């Protein structure tokens, strides 16, 4: 019913958007065309995100990269990227999160890593496009796929895990044989020590039993899509959660886009709008596992057993002080949980940054990109 009502709303508004665009083409200096374009983009934002990371790099980021598909199944593509004629010899595994943003928005982060050499990326499939016959997908499955990506990246590759991917990446690292482990690890805004200063959204999810989450948050994919019958956490509800966590920022991007389309401002709102709405549906089983982690439940398939963390493995943890999705201390807390200390452990806290500043934007370029590149280059040269 949820998806049917959503489709009905979109269908009812598209004629208005088309009429406004056509009117804008007939009446000089009319804002109607800009409004029609704005409404069309808003409606298109709810469509399944299926743009591969390599195409997004060229189309949106102006970054040409040679792409080799290393592995593909129903839920993930593991892609190796390299700059044409690039001279970097190192390899970095970018563990993209399978929740919220599609890998296509990580182009700026990928560009930083491509300066060092090849990049192996986990490019997750929108769950509403995965047939039910492919089976369920939970945190154990993500950990397994992360292990496959780690093996494809090769021994001593750098590992950069963003947001939700931190859990599965660390679990895969703990299970990997000593001869196949990464040479350095960077955790960017990863909710590892989840009991440290939880944000409002985390507290809300943690306080809901699994049955209530399944009833109120998860939805069944409609018959009109390949994943018909699959239980998912819809991207439109994720967007509502993101907008609710910082409503002023969301309103600024929406209004800024309209003003930009009218030619009144030039603030890069079109790209910000595209990034904010590049969301994918998450498998219901995976989301329930993530909620269980927020409640502090011990999931054997997502925990790093005591003593399993390689003490000499260089570790960088990065947090944003205004992160509305991951609480303060939850990423740096990985240092404490794993008994990591000394010269191999580093922390970086970016003042005034939000969650998205950990992978794109001016703050990312000024504060995180140089530090991340320096850390990986230094660790891999030792």
| Residue 96 is assigned to a structural domain of this protein | yes
Q: Which sign, positive or negative, has the C-alpha torsion 172, 177, 181, 187?
A: positive
State yes or no: pLDDT of 358 exceeds 60: yes
Provide Rg for the chain, Cα atoms: 21
For 186-200, write each residue's pLDDT tens digit: 999 999 888 888 888
- What whole-number distance in Å separates Cα of residue 23 and Cα of residue 26? 5
What local confidence, expressed as pLDDT, does residue 301 receive? 43
**Residue written as token pair 């009502």:** 5
- pLDDT over threshold 50, residue 144: yes
Q: What band does 300 get if pLDDT is binned at 50, 70 and 90?
A: very low
Reduced to 3 states, what is the DSSP secondary structure of residue 293?
A: helix
Which domain, by its residues, includes 160?
A: 53-201+284-381
In a domain, 42, yes or no: no
Tokens of 220: 């069944």
Assigned domain for 82 exists? yes
Instruction: Note the pLDDT tens digit of each residue in 334-354.
Output: 887 766 555 577 899 999 998
Residue 350 placed within a domain:
yes
| pLDDT digits 0-9 by tens, 75-87 | 999 999 998 876 6
Contacting residues for 88 by C-beta, under 8 A, at least 6 apart: 114, 115, 116, 117, 118
299 has pLDDT over 60: no
pTM beyond 0.85? yes
Alpha-carbon distance 282 to 178, whole Å? Answer: 32
The per-residue pLDDT for range 213-268, each reduced to its tens digit, is 888 889 999 888 899 999 999 888 887 777 777 788 888 888 888 888 888 887 77
pLDDT at 120 over 60: yes
Q: Is residue 325 part of a domain?
A: yes
Question: Most distant CA pair in the chain: distance in Å?
Answer: 70
Cα–Cα distance for residue pair 301/81, rounded to 1 Å: 29
- Please tell me the least confidently modeled range out of 139-153, 197-211, 336-350, 358-372: 336-350
- Provide mean pLDDT across the span 97-111: 86
28 phi and psi angles, rounded to 5 deg: -60, 145
CATH number, residue 127? 3.40.50.1820
Q: Please, what is the average pLDDT of the chain?
A: 83
> What's the confidence (pLDDT) of residue 7?
62
Q: How many domains does the chain divide into?
A: 1
* Per-residue pLDDT at 214: 84
Is 327 inside any structural domain? yes
- Strand order from edge to edge, sheet including 219-220: 219-220, 231-233, 282-283
Torsions phi, psi for 331 (to 5 deg): -90, -50
Give the per-residue pLDDT at 306: 47
Alpha-carbon dihedral 146, 152, 157, 162, rounded to 10 degrees: -30
Cα→Cα distances 107→72, 110, 329, 367, Å: 20, 5, 27, 17
Distance CA 100, CA 78 (A): 18
The proportion of the chain whose per-residue pLDDT surpasses 90, expressed as a percent, equals 35
Measured in residues, the chain has a length of 382
Which contacts qualify for 67-71: CB closer than 8 Å, 24 or more apart? 70/120, 70/152, 71/148, 71/149, 71/152
Could you tell me if 235 and 279 are in contact, meaning their C-beta atoms sit under 8 angstroms apart?
yes
Q: Is 61 part of any domain?
A: yes
Residue 242 resides in a domain: no
Return the H-helix or E-strand segment holding 188. Answer: strand 184-188
């Amino acid at each position: 019913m949820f998806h049917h009502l959503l489709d009905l709303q979109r269908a009812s508004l598209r004629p208005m958007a088309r009429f406004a665009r056509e009117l804008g083409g007939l009446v000089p200096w009319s804002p109607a065309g800009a409004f029609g374009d704005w409404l069309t983009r808003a409606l298109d934002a709810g469509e399944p995100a299926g743009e591969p990371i390599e195409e997004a790099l060229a189309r949106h980021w102006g970054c040409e990269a040679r792409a080799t598909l290393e592995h593909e199944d129903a839920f993930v593509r593991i892609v190796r990227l390299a700059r044409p004629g690039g001279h970097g010899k190192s390899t970095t595994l970018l563990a993209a999160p399978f929740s919220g943003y599609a890998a296509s928005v990580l182009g700026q982060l990928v560009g930083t890593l491509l300066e060092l050499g090849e990049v192996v990326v986990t490019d997750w499939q929108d769950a509403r496009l995965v047939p039910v016959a492919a089976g369920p997908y939970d945190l154990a499955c993500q950990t397994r796929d992360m292990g496959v990506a780690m093996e494809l990246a090769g021994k001593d590759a750098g590992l950069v895990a963003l947001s939700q991917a931190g859990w599965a990446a660390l679990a895969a690292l703990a299970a990997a044989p000593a001869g196949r482990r990464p040479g350095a690890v960077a955790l960017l805004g990863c909710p590892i020590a989840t009991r440290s200063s939880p944000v409002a959204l985390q507290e809300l999810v943690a306080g809901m039993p699994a049955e209530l989450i399944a009833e109120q948050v998860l939805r069944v994919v409609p018959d009109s899509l390949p994943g018909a019958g699959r239980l998912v956490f819809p991207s439109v509800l994720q967007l509502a959660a993101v907008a609710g966590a910082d409503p002023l920022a969301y309103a600024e991007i929406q209004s800024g886009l309209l003003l930009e389309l009218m030619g009144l401002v030039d603030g890069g709102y079109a790209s910000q709008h595209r990034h904010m709405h590049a969301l994918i549906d998450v498998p219901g089983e995976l989301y329930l596992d993530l909620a269980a982690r927020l409640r502090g439940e011990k999931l054997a398939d997502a925990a790093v057993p005591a003593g399993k963390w390689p003490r000499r493995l260089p570790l960088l943890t990065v947090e944003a002080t205004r992160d509305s999705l991951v609480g303060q201390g939850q990423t740096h807390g990985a240092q404490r949980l794993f008994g990591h200390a000394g010269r191999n452990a580093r922390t970086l806290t970016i003042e005034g940054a939000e969650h998205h500043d950990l992978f794109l934007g001016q703050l990312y370029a000024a504060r995180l990109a140089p530090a991340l590149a320096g850390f990986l280059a230094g660790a891999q040269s030792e």
